[in-house]
Amino acid sequence: MTAAAYDRLKARFARIALLDESQAMLHWDAAAVMPAGGGAARGEQLATLAGLSHELLTAPEMAGDLAEAGAQSGAGAEVGAGGEWDGANLALMHTAHRRATALPTALVEASARAASACESIWRTARARADFGLVAPALKEVVRLQRETALALADATGLSPYDALMEGYQRGIGAAAVEPIFTAYETFLAEALPRAEALQAARPAPVPLAGPFPVAAQQVLCREMAERVGLDFTHARLDESTHPFCGGTPTDVRITTRYNTASVAQALLGVLHETGHALYERGLPAAHARQPVGEAAGMAAHESQSLIIEMQACRSDAFLGFIGPRLHAAFGGDAAAFAPANLAGLWRRVERGFIRVDADELTYPAHVILRFRLERALIGGELEVEGLPAAWNEGFARLLGLTPPDDACGCLQDIHWYDGGFGYFPSYTLGAMAAAQLMRAARAAVPGLDVALGQGNFVPLREWLRLNVHGQGSRLGFQDLLRAATGKPLDPADFTAHLQGRYLTA
């Protein structure tokens, strides 16, 4: 192996990363500020950038440099002063190249173009609750995703759906996820009625009296994001239809949506996206724009948003801190902002149609449904025309409700309409990992909850920076959890968390 070949690879991957960063900023712009008439041009821009990135990754000289640098001699080869980091980086380069060379540039560009066009139509279809409006565009997205999945499966030896999953979270496929989800479905069937009964036996919480002016919410959301640790010299907070975190590690863009009738929607959304943003900000700067310097995958990413929002910011300790701040910002009855009342409001178990508004206990059911439907779509067992009916049937089976319209059903999420197949399992895998990481953090950091009660996130943030953020993608999802907690993913930590929070009198 030669250092010169590895240096050329690093330079090429840095250029690819810059193109990907440009795409990320264009995606943020499309979701946050782009006028509706810009959609067609934006689709062409994104398709072109995706094509250029793909061409760099599949260029003939890339294969030569990978061979010369020793990528084909096995993952983990040390290629220079970086030692283990360089070895992991080289292995990830090899994986990226193998996946890219499986896909013709024309397919990559067509997929990007179709997803951009479909997403634009979806925004109107969702507002009108009209699936038929977007169905033809989604059919084209699914067709291209099936073609992509088959090509990746041939190159990787994985099933078509697993090949898509690997693009979001390497190292865990449908065969591992299915029994985890089946076990959770069994747990939920018993736990949900029990949680509802316990909740009904308690006095109803006092609603927070609105309205909550958007300007005041914006100030509070920014203050709380800063309190958690977001540096706004490297970040922005804006509005979008679907809250998300995008941008780059040095220019993070988070969004939320405001509702004057509820402060929780925007605030908890911002805390969730701040968890994502902290992960991006904490990635190892020494390996920026290299594969090993990226996040470990989307399940890892979701663990970081959920450890902030669900594990820390809905804890009794933090509710005691945030209550007086909410009262100072919005006034009203101080008793409504007491920790026990906020817990009754923000940790309320309630069957509902909308995934992003779901409580911790029922949220995995939303993900299980999407996981099964997208597997069927990619596998050809389900066609786009049958999606609304399959959605409604599956939702009724899992949560006993039938959506009143498609806006509350299969139109509610952006992911499929933007070409994101294989992503959804990451949400619940991330929730499970968040519970496991929080348990380890509490064991490792004495007084962690005391700090959260003071609005002090430094101890938690430093533990995460050391054990998760700063590890980049040097370790896969399971190895990352092993290093941080002493074991691979253990769903029992998640169900124990739910038992303690929702199933005790």
Residue 504 lies in a domain: no
Alpha carbon distances (Å) from 68 to 12, 187, 353: 15, 52, 53
What's the pLDDT at 497? Answer: 98
DSSP secondary structure letters along 42-75: HHHHHHHHHHHHHHHHH-HHHHHHHHHHTGGG-T
**In 3D, which of 299, 236, 289, 243 has the Cα closest to residue 266?**
243
> Which has the closest alpha carbon to 13: 72, 77, 69?
69
**293 and 145 in a common domain:** no
Asked whether residue 427 is assigned to any structural domain, the reply reads: no
Calpha distance 485→307 (Å, rounded): 14
Confidence band (pLDDT; 50, 70, 90) for 76? very low
Task: Answer yes or no: do 161 and 307 share one domain.
Answer: no
The dihedral sign for the CA sequence 148, 152, 154, 159: negative
Proportion of the chain above pLDDT 70, given as a percent = 97
Helix (H, G, I), strand (E, B) or coil at 252: strand
Tell me whether residue 425 is in a domain: no
Q: Tell me the pLDDT of the chain averaged across its residues.
A: 94
Q: Output Rg (C-alpha) for the chain, integer angstroms.
A: 23
Count the Cβ atoms, other than its own, within 10 Å of residue 201: 8
Whole-number Cα distances in Å, 264 to 151, 256, 343, 363: 43, 11, 12, 17
Q: What's the rounded Cα separation, in Å, for the pair 372 and 365?
A: 11
Q: What is the pLDDT of residue 241?
A: 79
Judged by average pLDDT, the poorest of 8-17, 67-76, 128-137, 416-425 is 67-76
What number is the average pLDDT over the span 476-505? 95
Looking at residue 70, what is its pLDDT? 75
Question: Both ends of the chain: CA-CA distance in Å?
Answer: 63
> Do 145 and 234 reside in the same domain of the chain?
no
Same domain for 325 and 464?
A: yes
Question: 266 and 157 in one domain?
Answer: no
Tell me if 353 is assigned to some domain.
no
In a domain, 195, yes or no: no
Q: What's the total number of domains in the chain?
A: 2
Residue 25 gets which letter from DSSP? Answer: H
Show the domain range for 97.
3-166
Within-domain flag for 368: no
Average pLDDT of the residues in 336-356:
96
At residue 190 the predicted structure's pLDDT band, cuts being 50, 70 and 90, is very high
Q: How far is the C-alpha of 170 from the C-alpha of 478, rounded, in Å? A: 9
Residues 342, 446 within the same domain: yes
- 224 and 343 inside one domain: yes
Kindly state the tokens that stand for 183. 């076990």
What distance in Å separates the CA atoms of residue 149 and residue 159, rounded to the nearest whole number?
8
- Same domain (yes/no): 143, 254: no
What confidence tens digit (pLDDT) does each residue in 457-475 have?
A: 999 999 999 999 999 999 9
When pLDDT is cut at 50, 70 and 90, the band that residue 490 belongs to is: very high
Q: 26-40, 59-73, 321-335, 436-450: which has the minimum mean pLDDT? A: 59-73
Percent over 90 (pLDDT), the chain: 91
21 is catalytic: no
Q: Are residues 9 and 143 part of one domain?
A: yes
| Cβ atoms within 10 Å of 41's Cβ, excluding its own | 11
pLDDT higher than threshold 80 for residue 124: yes
- Per-residue pLDDT of 216-268, as tens digits, reads 999 999 999 999 999 999 999 999 877 899 999 999 999 999 999 999 999 99
Inside any domain, residue 190: no
Token output for 193:
């009625």
- Choice among 45-49, 157-161, 315-319, 486-490 with the minimum mean pLDDT: 45-49
Which residues, in sequence order, are CB contacts of 371 under 8 Å at separation 6+?
A: 174, 177, 181, 424, 425
What pLDDT is attached to residue 247? Answer: 94
Q: Are 303 and 236 in contact (CB under 8 A)?
A: no
**Statement to judge: residues 244 and 134 lie in one domain:** no
pLDDT band at 74 (very low <50, low <70, confident <90, very high): very low
> d(Cα 406, Cα 354) in Å, to the nearest integer?
11
Q: Is the pLDDT of residue 171 over 90?
A: no
Q: How far from 9 is each of 17, 68, 341, 472, CA to CA, in Å?
A: 12, 10, 56, 18
Q: Is the pLDDT confidence value at 7 over 50?
A: yes
Res 39: pLDDT: 87
Is there a single domain that holds both residue 220 and residue 148? no
Helix axes 84-101, 60-69, angle to 10 degrees: 150
Residue of 119, 166, 273, 294 with catalytic role: 273
Assess whether pLDDT exceeds 60 at residue 71.
no
Indicate whether 97 and 243 sit together in one domain.
no
Residue 62 lies in a domain: yes
pLDDT (mean) for 386-403 = 98
CA angle 395, 246, 243 (to 5 degrees): 40
Helix axes 39-58, 60-69, angle to 10 degrees: 50
